[in-house]
Structure 1
Amino acid sequence: MWLLAAALASPAFATADPVRAVGQTCAQLATEKPDDFPARLCASMSLEEKLAQMIMSYPPLDKEAPVTVGAVIILGPLLKNAKTIRERVADLQKRSRVPLLVAVDMEGGKLNRLQFVPGLKSAPSGQALGKMTEAEVEAWGRKVGREMRALGLNCNLGPVLDLAGSGLMFESERSMGDDPARVARLGAAYARGQRAEGVVPIGKHFPGYGELAENSDYNLVVTDRSAELIEQHAKAFFDVGNHLGGVMLTNVGFSVHGAMPAILSPNLVAMAHRNGNGWVTMTDDLAVKTLGNATGGDQEEVVRRAFLAGNDFLLTTAPVDWEKAIDLRRLMRELVEQRPELLARVDASVLRILRLKESAGLLETLKRPRTTSGKSHKGQVSQGTRGKGAL
């Protein structure tokens, strides 16, 4: 049974409405500003294509079919060696009509996903970065970014901007410290370095994991942190500003925001959008079974609430074509069909995603003029296809 009615009736849903917060639709913007390429591209998409852009998943299992997500995350068995990654990423991009964000969870230290890359064997942890100068941190951001781009990776799920002098983030050496001003300066330096090498950095875990001892991957963690302290932790993210491409929200719940995981809180997603310099917002892994504890064990309800909360990207570490995977696109489509006003909210998310891709130079191939044969390049948006569900 859906728990949607109860969720929408709760105070956390009542105080922030992602639908009312959106502006013009893609079609309206494309009409008013014909040179706005992301708006034109968005306006040319069908609903299915738009919803696909809002999914970041483990690469599909099918090695031949078109890739129908907006982003992929490379992890686990794919992180064997440079050759494997380069070949897989190139193949995924070839099969995608809109260039993909290709992400890796690269933090360094104990969570060094790219330790097989010679130049990154000693990539420092967040704790080690916290003891460096801004120049040193920016240099590491550039070095990691350069090695990532050489592999075809263009998005990093980092830096970690959680403030902690104790607890899980401190003990795991992921936090750069507990001083919000210093963490923001170092986070900005690292993000600048990544951007300079063509990598989009995603700050995490908004609005801040803090000094909690429990691991939200294994338990439903709720904190009584005050609204003022939440703002203080979030400021570390805000002060990094547009050096970040976006933020990943935490699975931690905050009692002052309904005690549900932050990824399911319209209030907290709206906070990131309102202060985030055009940031995209992203869930943490929706495949984490513990999240079902917030919805009476209903994992599909987790997806519905994450979508209704206003997240731009729904992240899952499961392949979308895996037989046991939750069909994210179907669940989003059903909600939009029930509530057509959600179309504007979808457009807002897709626009943010496409603008982020444009800022990273990923849409340049789609902007190429027609060939001498009169045919558009793959994915070309023309006056003839706009609004007809073609790319």
Structure 2
Amino acid sequence: MSFRRLPVLAGAAVLLLTTACGGGGTDPHPGDRPAQTLTSTDPEAAAAELLAEMSLEEKVGQLFVPVLVGTTAEENADVVGRYHPGGFIYFPDNLQDPAQVATMSNGLQELAAASGAGIPLFLGVDEEQGMVSRLPFGARFPDAMAVGATRDPDKAAELASTTAEQLSAVGINLDYAPVADVNVNADNPVIGIRSFGSDPDLVGELAAAEAEAFQAGGVVAVAKHFPGHGDTDVDSHTGLPVIDKTREDWERIDLPPFRRLVEADIDMIMTAHVLMPRLDSSEEPATLSPDLITGVLREELGYDGVVTTDALNMEGVRQSHDDGEVAVRAVLAGADQLLMPPDLDLAYSAVLAAVEEGRIGEERLDESVLRILRLKLRRGLLDAEPVDPEAAAGVADHTGHREAAQRTADASVTLLRNNGVLPLAEGASVRVLGPGGERIGAALEDLGHPLAASASDADVVVVGTDGARGDAEQRDLVAQARASGAPVVVVAQGTPYDISALPELDAYLAVYSSMEVSRTAAARVIAGTVSPSGRLPVDIPGTDLVFGDGLGY
């Protein structure tokens, strides 16, 4: 497929689409199709023109976003030619270095151009930053909860704009971010620091700032996970979380961020594999619920953007139906794109058969395909130029990006306990233990604090934790440090809830992330070269610490 700008006629640009069919086994139009001129640059009208030229098989293909195979475009040629998918999702096994990813992205778009209707691909990735980060290169920002601790929408926007620049440089045009879940459950095993916090207004403000910056950078933003995954104690990757919450409580806690994102015209929203029996009587996870997707998201909130499922290979959506039926029911519920079906052929065949049999009406199918095409037009995919593999390396190794990540980490550090230990006295020696200890220790040494060989030889013991509430070994390490008689400083690098299991500390810092920049930021605060300015973005059960708390120097 190629799109080229023709001379301006009557004040409007005209796009010319030419397609050549590839190896699509289901393509009913063998050989070259005649050139098609799009007479409108309005995404709505242009999408309708494209839709009119698509076969049923090509339309169904646009609903699917499978996992990419391998590290080259050629390894996925059969999938593109046979199924004409709407996109692919990248994972670390697909990604080596900037040049390789850029070359692969270009090759995939070339395959799509030569196949079926020639519609470009969404090439997506989970690049939330922090612990959910797939790229093996580029600046690594701290997790969303660290951004929440800064209280700064400009920091959220800087994270997203930097990430968008890195993704665009290698041909990735969609990011499954931001997380719009409100984390109100300290035992949440899957969201936690991926959330901006427990306050709906804060989460909505920061998620909207990220979404706007992603989209301004030419990358599709995907808010997740509707209707909310922040109050679960089960991981939907391994089971089906049940949220026994009233409609009133859901509207107060979980809904506000999504409402704000709908009002901001976010490109895409991802569903959650969660069961909410007091909002929906279908006994289906939200991904398969017409009441929640069509009824609430579409009709009540007025959202007409693209809805994608969360990954369909997760156990939370595979409890009651086979994988083909799951795909069909997701479409019937109102989803437009089906992410990561565990068996692409089974799911594709099931949806195609459901349309041919009338179970899914063609009008319903066309609604989804039009939304997908409109978004591809809005984000410029249909006239996008190939990316430059050589230039991609320079973007990935951008000094300014790393500095931006460090600024965010520095601003996030939240001091919650301090019995006069911090900042350290000039030249005080430290013994550093636990998760992140090597990086924190190296940074402290660089800042003039020698590393002691043992806790008994140190002026202060610093212990890193990450999930100590559920890890007896980490709690024992803190207890051993306290037994040395030296003051103990704990640096919590996961959720800030560890303090509830670690009483009587001399000082406690939350950095909400195990990224290198966060460990460096912790050392800077401990040494006093940075004054702590972060504020707690959640309440901490079992303590007197609440949203908004934070000490300074």
Q: Same fold (TM over 0.5)?
A: yes
Between 1 and 2, higher relative CO (CA 8 Å, sep ≥ 6) is seen in 1
Q: Deviations over 1:287-326 (max 9, x none)?
A: 224532133xx232222211221210011165xxxxx645
**What is the match of residue 103 of structure 1?**
124
**What is the match of residue 355 of structure 2?**
336
**What is the match of residue 145 of structure 2?**
127
Alpha-carbon offset, residue 140 of structure 1: 1.1
Contact 2:68 2:90 (C-alpha < 8 Å) held by counterparts: yes
**What is the match of residue 331 of structure 2?**
307
Q: Output the CA distance in 1 between the equivalents of 2:369 and 2:52.
A: 10
Choose which of 201, 204, 219 in structure 1 pairs with 2:224: 204
Choose which of 53, 58, 68 in structure 1 pairs with 2:67: 58
Q: Output the CA distance in 2 between the equivalents of 1:34 and 1:301.
A: 32
**What is the match of residue 314 of structure 2?**
288
Q: Output the CA distance in 2 between the equivalents of 1:84 and 1:163.
A: 37
282-291 or 87-96: bigger deviation? 282-291
Q: Does 1:83 align with 2:99?
A: yes
Structure 2 counterpart of 1:151, one-letter code: V
**What is the match of residue 218 of structure 1?**
238
Q: Output the CA distance in 2 between the equivalents of 1:309 and 1:277.
A: 14
SS of residue in 2 equivalent to 1:184: helix
Contact 2:182 2:231 (C-alpha < 8 Å) held by counterparts: yes
Q: Output the CA distance in 2 between the equivalents of 1:290 and 1:185.
A: 29
Change (3 A) 1:317 1:303: closer
SS of residue in 2 equivalent to 1:143: helix
Structure 2 counterpart of 1:86, one-letter code: A
Change (3 A) 1:353 1:148: same
TM-score normalised according to structure 2 size: 0.56
Contact 1:169 1:210 (C-alpha < 8 Å) held by counterparts: no
SS of residue in 1 equivalent to 2:164: helix
Alpha-carbon offset, residue 211 of structure 1: 2.0
Q: Output the CA distance in 1 between the equivalents of 2:76 and 2:283.
A: 41
Q: Deviations over 1:102-161 (max 9, x none)?
A: 1101111111212x223x23x121111112201111111100111110111111101000
Query: Which structure 1 residue ranges, 4+ long, deviate > 3 Å from structure 2?
Result: 60-67, 169-172
**What is the match of residue 357 of structure 1?**
376
Change (3 A) 1:137 1:228: same
Percent identical among aligned pairs is: 31
Q: Output the CA distance in 1 between the equivalents of 2:110 and 2:349.
A: 25
Contact 1:164 1:170 (C-alpha < 8 Å) held by counterparts: no
**What is the match of residue 18 of structure 1?**
none
SS of residue in 1 equivalent to 2:381: coil
Choose which of 151, 158, 181 in structure 2 pairs with 1:162: 181
Structure 2 counterpart of 1:46, one-letter code: S
Contact 2:182 2:197 (C-alpha < 8 Å) held by counterparts: yes
Q: Output the CA distance in 1 between the equivalents of 2:76 and 2:202.
A: 45
TM-score normalised according to structure 1 size: 0.78
Structure 1, unaligned runs of 5 or more? 1-29, 319-323, 367-391
**What is the match of residue 372 of structure 1?**
none
Alpha-carbon offset, residue 330 of structure 1: 1.0
Structure 2, unaligned runs of 5 or more? 1-38, 113-117, 386-553
Contact 1:48 1:329 (C-alpha < 8 Å) held by counterparts: no
Contact 1:104 1:113 (C-alpha < 8 Å) held by counterparts: yes
Q: Output the CA distance in 2 between the equivalents of 1:168 and 1:91.
A: 40
Structure 1 counterpart of 2:318, one-letter code: G
Contact 1:54 1:312 (C-alpha < 8 Å) held by counterparts: yes
Q: Deviations over 1:43-65 (max 9, x none)?
A: 11111010111111112674444
**What is the match of residue 345 of structure 1?**
364
Q: Output the CA distance in 2 between the equivalents of 1:276 and 1:158.
A: 21
Q: Deviations over 1:221-265 (max 9, x none)?
A: 222111222333122112023352111000111113123111000
Alpha-carbon offset, residue 171 of structure 1: 6.6
Contact 2:287 2:317 (C-alpha < 8 Å) held by counterparts: no
**What is the match of residue 47 of structure 2?**
38
How many correspondences in the alignment?
A: 326
Change (3 A) 1:210 1:289: closer
Q: Deviations over 1:345-389 (max 9, x none)?
A: 0000001111111110112369xxxxxxxxxxxxxxxxxxxxxxx
**What is the match of residue 261 of structure 2?**
240
SS of residue in 2 equivalent to 1:201: strand
Q: Which has the larger radius of gyration?
A: 2
1:134-145 equivalences in 2 (<5 Å): 134-145=153-164
Alpha-carbon offset, residue 273 of structure 1: 2.3
Q: Output the CA distance in 1 between the equivalents of 2:198 and 2:191.
A: 13
Q: Output the CA distance in 2 between the equivalents of 1:193 and 1:124.
A: 17
SS of residue in 1 equivalent to 2:101: helix
Structure 2 counterpart of 1:112, one-letter code: S
**What is the match of residue 514 of structure 2?**
none
Contact 1:54 1:349 (C-alpha < 8 Å) held by counterparts: yes
Q: Output the CA distance in 2 between the equivalents of 1:363 and 1:231.
A: 38
Q: Output the CA distance in 2 between the equivalents of 1:71 and 1:308.
A: 20
Q: Output the CA distance in 2 between the equivalents of 1:191 and 1:292.
A: 30
**What is the match of residue 194 of structure 2?**
174
Q: Does 1:72 align with 2:88?
A: yes
Q: Output the CA distance in 1 between the equivalents of 2:346 and 2:216.
A: 36
